[in-house]
Structure 1
């Protein structure tokens, strides 16, 4: 393990991230760094947003002459651009929503054509029996698919254990890694990975949302294998411990780091199981007494998955176009085929000061990672590319270089400018 001291610019970046966490609960998604830095921030006077903006600019100005490797300088510059923007927002500065998104995540967003959702509705209509409204039929299908609460923990454990065994040859993890699952209630999210350090994660599943049998492989791949848990383990072991890259000991929401992490986690099921996930899930869960028509579930879930981008469109309507909240809730209910109550829950997530931009990490992160994985060709398969994402500190702009058209904005140094929950 490296014994070299942490470079000053990295130390200042870590302190800045911890200070954001002091000011905004939940801003630090993961911290496995030097406890002395955390103690220092804990006993400091509480920071102000204006002070954090100033510090972000000062740290960014020091990055070019820091002597760090180029990949580390790029990472820090991108993160600091996002932190400066976050500080400006916390200080009360108004800015266009899409510019805010670009500063956080290095992506440009735009609403989808409603025909995209209409086509998915047509596919669902063909798959769901009955003559009533499509939304009612989908809600009923989801109700029948629910896992009894008393069996949820055992079921997700079974899926995760099977994934761990199957993926070990392709994505070997350090010895001693472990994920513990727990079932909770009264939370605003579906599932949440807390990385504890030391190759350990705790994943909480919110029983209130009614987890479905079909959703279990998505939860297990996203949160554990080969998603968040695998990424944290490999970066702790390879970057923090072996190489001494201490900047990887903290994860901060609303930064390019989280867009890549969530995009990877969203694509984890496709990398892990490909087009056989439905049948694979049915076989694994049959051993714990849960029945699933894997092929049909896969067709329905694939069509339903195409509706999820409506969450980002709703954010654009709210924060970029200034549309009324009731109109946005109606948009979500119509195109995502959810109840009015569920649309209201989504709206609360989209209007939360911390999380309002975070939906982009799922929508654009998933799209960008999927395109990048597919761009490798026969000599650079998706599995190898995904492994690079697990072990290297890659940015959205890094992935865009390999794509045929610019899908993300080029990074702008923070000095030039004046995540993690799975949502309910």
Structure 2
């Protein structure tokens, strides 16, 4: 298995030579990078070798030990995704949305007709009355909650500090773990964690568009604690350092691992701030820090609750847009109608679809799968334990509920 894992890592690195965004993180042996470059494989050759590895993996003797079974299944699903992405690069064509989801992320998200979102939209209409289109009323409403540029650093630092404190109260992280925070612009995403290995991360926040106050906790948890930084640090410590499973020293973005990563990062927000605790922390700490009136917090929390019910609308726009049945202009219009984006945010979202394809399912569907897994436990302590167990194990969507 170790030999097969090494060959898998080198194929991932080799495919990274064809797609600069594919290898999200790597902290394995430097010699493997050199080996991957020397292989000089075409995307088609990589797909063929991934298929051969997949067949060899299937022939290995089954192991009844839980972590070994999970490891074998992880490699099985990751090899399927590696082959699929290599084939897409070789052909220059992406698969249909749901086929892409299954092959790359090991699951298919539920489909919702746009009528599914009528109720939360009606409630938002009542919450923000007026004659202008709803998305314009939303934009006007949200202007009250944008963090002033000169106060962003203080607000984000305080939010991340709180996310970190709450996470460390339940999850043991390496003593030397840390991150560097940078502000960037002109990106298709709002935040990104670039894991560096040795429990270190570079967290980048995109400040080209105005940032709402609620995004401070969201991004602090998602990119840092108990999200991506925590996930990668636990994988490195528990699987790479302790077990020597070097396949976890590489993170291919378009793979089942991403659904667990994004899903746990999004669910981690409500795990760290259960019930009304996020609203209370924002009202009592972040609002004053940003110079926002705390009396607006209750209405803002209700707005965010209703807007969260529109999460899957973005998936439906992406599904049709990527199928070529929805022009970009119409997709931007639908994102404004059903996701209540500003024109600028909707255009940024189209850039995300163009760049990452069906990756969008990892945020909402991934969160729902992780939530279902973690909340089989009833007490807060047990939920944190179950969450940490997920982050420190080689689970993918099709094995997440294995005992």
Same fold (TM over 0.5): yes
1: CA distance, partners of 2:188 / 2:329: 20
In structure 1, the residue matched to 2:367 is 366
Residue 390 of structure 2 corresponds to: 389
Separation of aligned partners in 2, 1:287 and 1:142: 16
What is the distance in 1 between the residues matched to 2:160 and 2:96? Answer: 41
1:315 counterpart residue number = 318
Q: Distance in 2 between matches of 1:297 and 1:381?
A: 31
Partner of 2:14: 19
* 1:332 alignment partner in structure 2: 335
Structure 2 partner of 1:204? 204
Distance 2:336 2:178 in 1: 38
* Counterpart in the other structure of 2:48: 54
1:278 alignment partner, SS class? helix
Greater shift after overlay, 171-180 or 67-76? 67-76
After TM superposition, the structure 1 = structure 2 runs for residues 155-234 of structure 1, keeping only pairs within 5 Å, are 155-234=155-234
Could you list the per-position Cα deviations for residues 232-269 of structure 1 after superposition, in whole angstroms to 9, with x for gaps in the alignment? 11111111111111111111112111011000011111
Q: SS where residue 247 of structure 1 aligns? A: helix
What's the secondary structure of 2:58's corresponding residue?
coil
Greater shift after overlay, 18-27 or 370-379?
370-379
2:153 maps to what in 1? 153
CA distance change for structure 1 residues 85 and 240 in 2, over 3 Å: closer, same or farther? same
Partner of 1:77: 76
Stretch moving more, 15-24 or 137-146: 137-146
Distance, in Å, in 1 between the alignment partners of 2:212 and 2:287 is 15
2:193–2:201: 8 Å Cα contact kept in structure 1? yes
Q: Structure 1, residues 162-189: CA drift from partner, whole Å, max 9, x if none?
A: 2222322211211011122121222222
Identify if the C-alpha distance between structure 1 residues 329 and 286 changes in structure 2 by more than 3 Å, giving closer, same or farther: closer
Contact 2:82 2:255 in 1 (8 A): yes
Q: 1:226 to 1:253 in 2, by over 3 A?
A: same
Deviation at 1:370, TM superposition (A): 1.8
Structure 1: state its 5+ residue gaps. 1-5, 403-424
Asked if 2 retains the 8 angstrom alpha-carbon contact of 1:153 and 1:182, the reply is: no
* Other structure's SS at 1:91 match: helix
Structure 2, unaligned runs of 5 or more: none
For the 8 Å contact 2:213–2:287, the answer to whether it is kept is no
Contact 2:155 2:290 in 1 (8 A): no
Q: Give the distance between the partners of 1:376 and 1:106, measured in 2 at CA.
A: 24
2:5 matched residue in structure 1: 10
1:204 Cα deviation after fit: 0.9
Flag the 1:287–1:199 CA change in 2: closer, same or farther, 3 A: farther
Corresponding position of 1:285 = 286
Asked whether the equivalents of residues 267 and 370 of structure 2 are also in contact (C-alpha less than 8 Å), the reply is yes
Q: Please state whether the residue corresponding to 1:308 is helix, strand or coil.
A: coil
Richer in helix (by share): 2
Conserved 8 A contact 2:73-2:399: no
Which of the numbers 335, 338, 345 marks the counterpart of 1:342?
A: 345
Residues in 2 aligned to 1:394 and 1:15: alpha-carbon distance in whole angstroms: 21
| Change in 2 beyond 3 A, CA 1:171/1:123 | farther
Aligned residue pair count: 394
- Could you tell me the TM-score, scaled by structure 2's length? 0.91
Using the size of structure 1 for normalisation, the TM-score is 0.87
Residue 294 (str. 1) matches residue 294 (str. 2) = no
Deviations 1:103-147 (A, max 9, x none): 111212343132332212123223335453321111012222111
Q: Is the 8 A contact 1:9 1:66 kept in 2?
A: no
Return 226-235 or 103-112, whichever deviates more: 103-112
CA distance in 2, matches of 1:332, 1:288: 31
